[in-house]
Each structure stands twice: as structure tokens, then as C-alpha cells.
Amino acid sequence: MIGGLFIYNHKGEVLISRVYRDDIGRNAVDAFRVNVIHARQQVRSPVTNIARTSFFHVKRSNIWLAAVTKQNVNAAMVFEFLYKMCDVMTAYFGKISEENIKNNFVLIYELLDEILDFGYPQNSETGALKTFITQQGIKGQHQTKEEQSQITSQVTGQIGWRREGIKYRRNELFLDVLESVNLLMSPQGQVLSAHVSGRVVMKSYLSGMPECKFGMNDKIVIDKQGKGGASDDAGKSDLGGGSGKQSIAIDDCTFHQCVRLSKFDSERSISFIPPDGEYELMRYRTTKDIILPFRVIPLVREVGRTKLEVKVVIKSNFKPSLLAQKIEVRIPTPLNTSGVQVICMKGKAKYKASENAIVWKIKRMAGMKESQISAEIELLPTNDKKKWARPPISMNFEVPFAPSGLKVRYLKVFESKLNYSDHDVIKWVRYIGRSGIYETRC
Amino acid sequence: MTDSKYFTTTKKGLTSYYMLIDKMNVSLTQDCEDPNPLIRALAVRTMGCIRVDKITEYLCEPLRKCLKDEDPYVRKTAAVCVAKLHDINAQLVEDQGFLDTLKDLISDSNPMVVANAVAALSEIAESHPNSNLLDLNPQTINKLLTALNECTEWGQIFILDCLANYTPRDDRESQSICERVTPRLSHANSAVVLSAVKVLMKFMEMLPKDLDYYGTLLKKLAPPLVTLLSAEPELQYVALRNINLIVQRSCNIKVFIVLAELKEYATEVDVDFVRKAVRAIGRCAIKVEQSAERCVSTLLDLIQTKVNYVVQEAIVVIKDIFRKYPNKYESVIATLCENLDSLDEPEARAAMIWIVGEYAERIDNADELLESFLEGFHDESTQVQLQLLTAIVKLFLKKPTETQELVQQVLSLATQDSDNPDLRDRGYIYWRLLSTDPVAAKEVVLAEKPLISEETDLIEPTLLEELICHIGTLASVYHKPPSAFVEGSRGVQHKRLPGSAGSGESVESPDTGSAAGASDAPPAVIPSQGDLLGDLLNLDLTPPATTGPPPPATSGLQLGAMDLLGGGLDSLVCSSRSLAERTGQVLKHSLVCLLALMSLGLNDGTFLSFLAFFFFKFVLLSFFGLAPAGPLQVLTPLSPNQSIEVALPLSTVGPVMKMDPLNNLQVTPTLHGR
């Protein structure tokens, strides 16, 4: 298991050092600094083995977090733990910076004692931790016996991510469907590869211990219901969404630990008791029937050895009522470019010599529109025989719908003990589709 | 952690140290009785961290109480504390019967207590490989699987990792476990996913392959692995290293998806990139049999583009495909022959000539084609010359009547007009073979060639099996068995997959444990003969750069020599039995190699004798514990076509190094003085 945990600043000075096991010597701290932080060549592997000691590191801004071990530990677990550690620290004192770590170092040691016992990760849910890691000392607080046992049963119990007795005057929840769409297209417009990786992020402000049920237009569920023939009352409480596909095929999805996985496996229903505040409910990935928000049509013509003509047309492919934002098209230019003249119908375009690209920015663009840029690129004559490799044209954008076609059908809230019903909860749903790696070859 | 050394320097320090300990003891023991469960747990946790014998003695009573505490938080902390105590004083833990209490905790009502007990027991069991600490039986497994649904993400990892060590008794049991583990594949924590994959991969071995469930399970495994690749970069790294293992184990990737993209790449402008893409298509074909046909048709499409370098690369790749699937795709030869004239790179030319020679009986104008190559024989590179020689001999053996002239022409070209020793040697061999016994020649030259397989990145099957049992752990990231980087007895236990190991019990072999410690490098890559000779040949280029033998460089030379012949010597060592026999063989072979070094066109005889001496010394020392008792005396520089005999007195020193057996390798250098 994890033998020790160190936190360094960008200079390699140790801010936090917690050693859990005897096999980690005092020189381990220096070994990592010398071999990784101050290494002459940047160390690219996140796992480093120095003198039979393995170091796992992640970097947050300019802070290094390193876990050390001499055993054959579960590597995925160590990294997951380091991320969790970052999350917990962020939840306690905000941004992870040298100053914040120095100011909170007692707290960090206390946390490290609690969430890592002899190198074994323990309950690391902030919701539960905040009930008893308060930096005020346990003895100082005059808790009743009930309160104490409530804390311990919550930390060790089945629902370790939520504490009892949360109360809100207004029960509210926010759902964000965030997707990033990735594309690689041939110059002829053939899709070489495309996939969407999406996340459903939920912010919940609900009283008590509500039981939630989340529904989306998952093909398997819809088909099953269709067979049953029963009219689906859940479908009525549709929370609205983007453009119209009935159901989508999800390749794979993963859930926050609050979701009952066995229930999802058998019935494909997503039911859970949510943590309080913001968290990521699920992640998913789709590859079929993706709505590609933009189509890029490139035309590159080489006029002699010293001139290049480029014409790029972009077409938006969604409902005219919707607006795409933050559009940026990046057209790569050869290394020996001497000058560029650009004409574009919309937005602003500029040749950036340092990036070897023409960057064309459009603030807003409605659906079913078309825009065009043409550029003349002058080249310096070279005797380099190797031709220009023609890197792909890449694009960035943000659209207010889910390119995968995912729609939230319902999110029902049941709380039997407190008297508020599903209808009293105010629900907000938002869809944001962003570009991941969105490229077209030219 | 408190280290007693710091206190014991003075007598005063000693006294205060014991007073301190007593004070601590009293207050900690008091805290263990505190009404607040958080404080009880804190006390027990702290006591476990103080590694002083005196404290540990005091610890036993409170710990026993805490293990049976009414509060789950105290119990789960106490469970880990047993592991701590075991690390300090294993005997004490056994004597006090904590292990039994810990085992009872597996049936605890609280999932987190169960998870921590499992974690502690697994760790203790690792240092007692033979004790039956974690006697997993269907009842306990059932309890673990119930706890799996309820405990924290970390607890799930502990339980899954522990489950992976269990061997189900029959396929029905393993199927029911698989069914209960599969939901974990959609957990957000990728460590849970990877551990679940590990359990499934292991238990799948037990299932009959024709079962429907086996197929569905396989289908369920793939998507989560792909999803792991959209996680944070560090996890992607771990996931990729693991996927590399899993893919090698069960090859069913959807090649055609990749193929479309590779084909697209192949029409790029960047030459190097295109080459790689074409190579990749070839590798797909060799690796996945079902896709071979698609790959070949893709390659043919590419050849039709007539882009010079694409065609050349495609031909090189097709040659390999022919080797892998003989008598399957020969219909494409005609297309290949059309492009004969456009080939200008030696590798492509050699590949094409190989194809023509190999399939001479099916190509009507094979003799014409080869003749056209022969015209510029002297301008070709060695690679092409050698290939041409072989191809023409093959052709002759297949169509003896029409090609007699051609064969004589090529043999005379190779033996009389060429400066290249390799070419001459090969020429002479063929010549002699053909003139003395044509039937034998046929057997040698047209012998059935072994099928090639995807050669790069492959891990030895036994190692792969062990690594599959370690999915998600460091071993799978390093692609090394745990014994290669873990010290002591911990984790050196060799794990096997149940299906192939027969009994399925983890087999402990102390010998490999210690031997693996000595040689870190896993015996994974087997150098081929070509490499070996290639290295030998390369050597004649490198030494002139370092004229004269500077003393500090000697160790480097020794290592170099070891690298050169390491593979060959290993095989020799294991192929023979007695030491005497071994010595004889190795001496013979190292002498052969030595002479090869000497005949490699270096006039600097003294330098070579130096090199040879170090090489000799190293071989003898490392394999037989023999060391030369005196320096090697070479009085005169070795001149071409001259042989000398040298006596080298030997003595035995040092231990004999053991090597794991490697696959056999044939080293048959042919030697000629110049």
C-alpha cells in the first residue's frame, strides 16, 4: 500500500511529508526531487522507479503531489487517491497553491491521517469529512452521544457521501450535460473517427435524504419500454433539450459511487441518494449517430512553388434558432510562409507567425449558416525536398445542445420523511456541447 | 514516526524517554476507554504508529477491546491496526490470537469494517505465503460480494483485489461471481474498474468458451477499457499499459475501423508518416487473422495509387503477409510484378525479389524478371544481392532446365567478382550444395519456413499470465513481475491463471524468486539470428572510432560483448547438461565468435586481441566462475588468412550465475579467413 505522501512546491521544497510505513526511508523525499522535479530531461512517465522505490506523481498548477511505495500496489488506486486528495483539499481551502498549503498544513496532516490509514485509503468524501475534521479538536465540542455515533455510522456506513439533517428552504437542483465532441474527417468529407465523451454534472440543494431517479433517452431503456407497450408517464415530465432524436445508443457509462450499480446492471435504471452540492453523476461515451455541429470544407491549391491558395468554408449544422459561440478555426500554414493575405466574410482572421497558423475567430453563428475564408499564402523558396505535411484544420466551438443527442427525460426526487414532493423541487437543465479534437484534413 | 535512537544517547535522555512512554501509554490507554468513538479510534490509530516494543505490549489489551467495539468506526480502525502491529511484531499478533478476531471481522455487519479487515488480512497473508490465513470459501466469498455493493470505492478495490486471489471450484461458481462483479465495470473510479477487469479476466478462464455468457462477458469488458482512456492523463497511462496486456491475451480488436483511418494516413504527404501507416496495416494483417483479407485489399488499393514510396512500403509489408499466410493471397503477385520497375529502395527490391524467388513456379517469366535485376548486380546493395542470389538458386531448383545459365552467372558474380565476404560465403555454400547433392540442396533451400508472428512488444506467455493476475497494479505498469521491484518476501508470490495452472493454487518457487532478484531484466525478447549477425557486422564499423584500447573503456567493452552474444550463450547454457559439456560448447562457440570478430576486416590485431581477451574473461567468469589466471598472450598481430593458437590458463573463482532458460537459438556463423 501507499508508504508515504509528499507535497512539493515548484522548486522542489517539501511542504508536506507524511510517511506511513517504515520501508520508506528519509532519503526518499530527496530522491524524488533530484530524479523527477529537478531532472535534466523532463520526466514524462507519471510512475518512476528510483532504487526500488516507486513514486507516483500528479501536478496541480505548480504543486507536486507524490505518493511513494515499495510494494506492488494498485497503481490505478494510487492515482485515484491523489486526485481525491486534491478534491478534498480544494473543498476545504480552495485552490491548491503553495500559500494555501502552508496556511493549512495542520489541517492537511489531520486529513491525511483520516483518509489514509497505514497507507489504506479510507472514507474520503468531503461531505462526511467535514462533520468531524474541523480543526477545532474533538474534545472541545460538546457533542451528544447520539451525534457522535451518527458521525461514525455515517463515515463507515453505506451512504458515506451525505450527512443527515440537511435542510434547505428552497429545494433546487441543477443538471449540466457537458459534452465534448471529437472528430477526424477526410478532405472529401468522410468521417474517419468521431466520438462524444460526455458528463452529467449535478448540483443538488435538497433537504433530508432524498432518493433520486435519473432518466435519459438511452436506447436500451426506450426499446424495453416500447416493447412493454405501457404508456410512459415519465416521458411527460420531459425537461426539454436539443434537436430531435428519439433515443441514443450509449457505448459505455460510468457512475459516481452514489449510484446503485447492481440496479443499473439489472434494470438499467439510475437511482441514487445524491451528495450535497456539486458532483459528477455520470460519464458516458457514444460513437453512433453523432450530430456534427460544424462541417469544414477545405480547398488548398498550390500555385507554383512559392504560393498557396487556401479556401475554407464552414457550415453550421443545427437548428437555426440556436447560436454557436466562441468559434475558432485554425488553418495551419507551411513553415516557410513569408506573408499571408486573408479575406473573410464574418469574424476576424489573423495570421499568427509564431503558431504557424491562420486563426479565424467568429463570436456567434446561428444554425444552418455558412461562412467562408480565403487566404493567399506566399512562401519563401526552399530547397527542402520534403513536401509540406499539411496538418489538419482544427476547430473550437461551443453549442447549446448535446451533440450525442442525449436528452434528460426526468429526474425524480422522493423524500418520504420530509413533506416535499417531486413537484416542489425546482429543476434546471442545461446542455453544453464543446469541441474536443475536431479536425478536418486538407 | 518515533525513532528510539534519538532518545537513547544520554542517560538523562533515557530516563525521560521512558517517562514519556509511560505517560503516553497511560493517556492513550485512557483514551481507548473514552465515551467518544472518534477518540477511541484516534487512540488506537496513534498507538499503532509508535514503533516501540514497550508500547506494543501495552497496545494488546486496548486493541483487543477495540476490535470488538460496538462502534464500526473503531472496529475499522482497529482492523488496520492489526496489520500495523503485525509489521512491528508478527509473533505477538499470532500469539495474541488477533488473526482469528480479524477473520471474524470479515463477517461484520458494517461493509467498511469488512473491507479494512480484508485489506489487513491480505497484507498479512502476503508475508506468510504458505499459511492459510485468507481461507476463502464460498461462504466468505458471498459475504465479500455483499459488502462489495455497499462499501466505499476504496473498500471495493480491497475486496476485488482479494477476490482475484480466489480460485472458484467449478465454472458455475465462477460464473455467479462474474455476474456479481460485472456491475462494477461502470464505477466512476477507474481503479475499481481495473480491479473488476482483473477478477473477470481471471475467472473467465474457468468458463467454457462455448458458453453464451462467455461471449457476453467479453463484449462487456471492452467498452469500459476504452472509457478509461478519456480519464485523467496519469490514469490513461496506467490504463494503456494494462490494455497492452489485455489485448495480447485476447485479440479481438475491430481492425477494420483502424484500417480506414490508416488508409487515409497512407495517402498523406509526409513520407515517413506514410511508411509507418503502411507498416501498421501489415501488422494488423499479421496480428489478426480475420482482418488479413481486408488488409491485403487495402494494400492493393494503395499500390494502385502508384505513388512510389507507398508502393515500395506496401511490397515490403506484403512479403511479411506471405510469410504469415502462405498459399492464400498469391493472386496478388501479378499486380506486384507490374510495379517492378518503380522500385528503387533496397528493402523493397529485396522484398520483391524474395517474392519472385519464393513463388517462381507460379510466375511464368520469373527468370526474365530476375535476369533484369541481375544486370546491375554490382550496383545493388548487399541486401538485394544476397536476396537475388537466393532467389535465383530457388528458381533453379524449381525449374532446373531453363535457368542453368542464370544460376551459373549469379554464382560466378557472387563468388568471383564480389568483395563482400557474406555474399561470397553464401555463393560458395550454394555452389557446393548444388554441385555435390542437388537433393540436399533442395531440402535446404526450399525448406519449409516457420510462420512469422507479430514480433514487437510481445511479452512471454508465462510472464503475461502472471501480469494478467496483477492488472491495475505496479507490476502491470512496469510489465515486470513484482519480484523484480519489490524487496523481501512481500508480493514475490507467483500468481497464475486458474485454467492453465491446473490445480490453480499459487505456485511458490523459491528458486525463481531469488534468481529473479539477481537478474532484473525479464527474459522477454529473443534476439533473432539476423540481429546477432547484424550486431557482429556492426562491430567492424564501431571500433575504429575509438582507436587504441583506453583502459577506462574496458568495462564497456565487456558489457558490449555480453550484449552481442547474451542470447546465444543463454541458449547454449540451457541446452547442454553437464558443466564439462557446457564448458566445451561455450568455449567452442565463443571461439567461433572470437574468430568472427578477428576476421572482420580489422588490421589492428592487438586491439582485437584485447577485446577478445576481455570478452573471454567475462564469459568464463560469469558462466562458470572461471577466471583467466594470466593475460592472453598474443605476440604478433593477426594477419589475414593466418591462425594462431593461444593457451589461456584458467582458475575457478566466484559463484556460478544461474540463468533462466530461454528458447533455443541457433548460432551458425560461417567463417573464412581473408
Residue A121 lies in a domain: yes
In the predicted model, what is the mean pLDDT of chain B? Answer: 70
Into how many domains does chain A fold?
3
Question: Nearest by CB to B188, which of A71, A255, A260?
Answer: A255
Count Cβ–Cβ pairs < 8 Å, chain A vs chain B: 225
Which residues, at least 6 apart from A356, have a Cβ–Cβ distance to it below 8 Å? Answer: A332, A333, A334, A335, A337
Question: Nearest by CB to B477, which of A23, A47, A184?
Answer: A47
Residue A66 lies in a domain: yes
Closest-CA distance, B148 to chain A, in angstroms, reads: 10
Who wins on pLDDT, A192 or A362?
Answer: A362
B673, B642 Cβ separation under 8 angstroms: yes
In the numeric block, which cell numbers belong to residue B407?
A: 544460376
Residue B38 banded pLDDT, cuts 50, 70, 90: confident
Co-location of A203 and A328 in the same domain: no
pLDDT tens digits, one per residue of A116-141: 999 999 988 888 888 888 766 555 45
Co-location of A62 and A189 in the same domain: no
pLDDT tens digits, one per residue of B211-269: 888 888 888 888 888 888 878 888 888 888 888 788 776 654 455 556 666 777 776 66
Task: Decide if pLDDT at A38 tops 60.
Answer: yes
Residue A117 lies in a domain: yes
Interface residue B239 vs chain A (CB under 8 A): yes
Distance CA(B128)–CA(B493), nearest Å, equals 10
pLDDT tens digits, one per residue of B383-394: 888 888 888 888
Q: Report phi then psi at A334, rounded to 5.
A: -65, 160
Q: What share of chain B is helix, strand, coil (3-state, %, to 5)?
A: 65, 0, 30
Residue A69 lies in a domain: yes
Instruction: Establish whether A386 is an annotated binding residue.
Output: no
Q: Which residues of B touch A283 (CB under 8 A)?
A: 188, 227, 230
Whole-Å CA distances, B362 to A93, B339, B439: 78, 17, 21
Instruction: Establish whether A11 is an annotated binding residue.
Output: no
In the numeric block, which cell numbers belong to residue A140?
A: 472541545
Asked whether the beta carbons of residue A265 and residue B183 sit closer than 8 angstroms, the reply is yes
Co-location of A9 and A124 in the same domain: yes
Who wins on pLDDT, B131 or A270?
Answer: A270
Closest-CA distance, B118 to chain A, in angstroms, reads: 11
Instruction: Establish whether A352 is an annotated binding residue.
Output: yes
What range does the domain containing A32 cover?
2-128
Residue A312 banded pLDDT, cuts 50, 70, 90: very high
pLDDT tens digits, one per residue of B174-191: 888 898 999 999 999 999
Co-location of A96 and A212 in the same domain: no
Q: What is the pTM of this model?
A: 0.67
Co-location of A386 and A255 in the same domain: no
Percent over 90 (pLDDT), chain B? 5
Interface residue B476 vs chain A (CB under 8 A): yes
Co-location of A262 and A303 in the same domain: no
Task: Decide if pLDDT at A229 tops 70.
Answer: no
Residue A255 lies in a domain: yes
Co-location of A408 and A297 in the same domain: no
The pLDDT score that the predictor gives to residue A206 is: 92
Task: Decide if pLDDT at B42 tops 80.
Answer: yes
Q: Which residue of A has its CA nearest to B152?
A: A123
Last residue of a domain, one of A106, A128, A150: A128
Residue A408 lies in a domain: yes
Whole-Å CA distances, B486 to A70, A187, B545: 6, 52, 41
Q: What share of chain A is helix, strand, coil (3-state, %, to 5)?
A: 20, 40, 40
Residue A160 lies in a domain: no
Who wins on pLDDT, B557 or A357?
Answer: A357
Q: What is the CATH number of the domain that holds A266?
A: 2.60.40.1170
Interface residue B119 vs chain A (CB under 8 A): yes
Who wins on pLDDT, B167 or A309?
Answer: A309
Task: Count the neighbouring beta carbons within 10 Å of the beta carbon of residue B650.
Answer: 17
The pLDDT score that the predictor gives to residue A326 is: 94
Q: What is the CATH number of the domain that holds A41?
A: 3.30.450.60
Range among A79-83, A142-146, B458-462 rated most confident: A79-83
Q: Which residues of A touch B485 (CB under 8 A)?
A: 49, 52, 54, 72
The pLDDT score that the predictor gives to residue B581 is: 45
Asked whether the beta carbons of residue B191 and residue A77 sit closer than 8 angstroms, the reply is yes
In the numeric block, which cell numbers belong to residue B237?
A: 497511462
Co-location of A393 and A405 in the same domain: no
pLDDT tens digits, one per residue of B123-156: 888 877 666 777 778 888 888 898 888 888 999 9
Last residue of a domain, one of A78, A103, A128: A128
Task: Count the neighbouring beta carbons within 10 Å of the beta carbon of residue B598.
Answer: 23
Co-location of A371 and A300 in the same domain: yes
Interface residue B473 vs chain A (CB under 8 A): yes
**How far is the first Cα of chain B from the last one, in angstroms, to the nearest whole number?**
71
The pLDDT score that the predictor gives to residue B243 is: 82
Which B residues, 25 through 84, put their C-beta within 8 Å of a C-beta on chain A? Answer: 35-39, 41-42, 45, 48, 51, 71-74, 76-77, 80-81, 83-84
Task: Decide if pLDDT at A158 tops 80.
Answer: no
Residue A235 lies in a domain: no
Q: How far is CA B506 from the centre of its chain?
A: 21
Whole-Å CA distances, B588 to B591, B593, B629, B658: 5, 9, 20, 20
DSSP string, B521-575: S-S-----HHHHHHHHHHHTTSGGGS-S--GGGHHHHHHHHHHHHHHHHHHHHHH
Co-location of A279 and A404 in the same domain: yes
Co-location of A187 and A205 in the same domain: yes
- Dihedral angle of Cα B575, B579, B580, B585, to the nearest 10 degrees: 30
pLDDT tens digits, one per residue of B290-334: 777 888 888 888 888 777 788 888 888 888 888 888 777 778 887
- Interface test mutation site (partner B, options A152, A308, A335, max chain B beta carbons within 10 A): A152
Residue A271 banded pLDDT, cuts 50, 70, 90: very high
- Interface test mutation site (partner A, options B149, B230, B495, max chain A beta carbons within 10 A): B230
Co-location of A269 and A300 in the same domain: no
The pLDDT score that the predictor gives to residue B569 is: 37
Who wins on pLDDT, A200 or B453?
Answer: A200
Instruction: Establish whether A348 is an annotated binding residue.
Output: yes
